[in-house]
Amino acid sequence: MAVTTNSQTMNGTSARFGAASRPAWQVAGAASLAGIAVAGVYEAIVRAAGVSLDMGTSKAEAEAIPVGGFVGFTAMFAAVGFLFALAVARWANRPGRTYAVAAWAVAVVSLVLPFLPAYAAAETRVVLALAHVAVAAVVVPPVARHLGRRR
């Protein structure tokens, strides 16, 4: 039977909320799935509200973002973030800080993406930028917090 003290378990890992005893892949995976779920719910709300999701090189050539597009793109980039979190957990001297700084920097840069297409309504651009913020707010903090406890 393992005896738990304030911050140590028998194997020397932090016992706070039991999170540090989980491998990084579980925490990063769970956070990624939560981010994908948030993107899906957010997309459903945006579509139900009737927000235009048309984008393109001109108004005549604009096409709507396909249903599930938020989820698809979030899943692709969550996979990249997941692999990055595992690499940071393995090789960084300060994995929590390294992950947080890099992930928030990517999130900030990603805010420019909705403003790149030549044509999109202002509401479309704002909704897409807010989607980036919502997903990052769900994914980055728990992974960074977990990785910060690893060393």
Is the per-residue pLDDT at 35 higher than 80? yes
Predicted confidence band of residue 109 (pLDDT cuts 50, 70, 90): very high
Give me the sign of the Cα torsion angle 74, 58, 111, 127: negative
Is the per-residue pLDDT at 112 higher than 90? yes
Burial (Cβ within 10 Å: 0-12, 13-18, ≥19) of residue 98: buried
Structure tokens at 70: 């938020």
CA angle 74, 87, 91 (to 5 degrees): 155
Is the per-residue pLDDT at 107 higher than 50? yes
Predicted model pTM: 0.83
CA angle 124, 136, 104 (to 5 degrees): 110
Structure tokens at 3: 């005896």
What pLDDT, on a 0 to 100 scale, did the predictor assign at position 149? 87
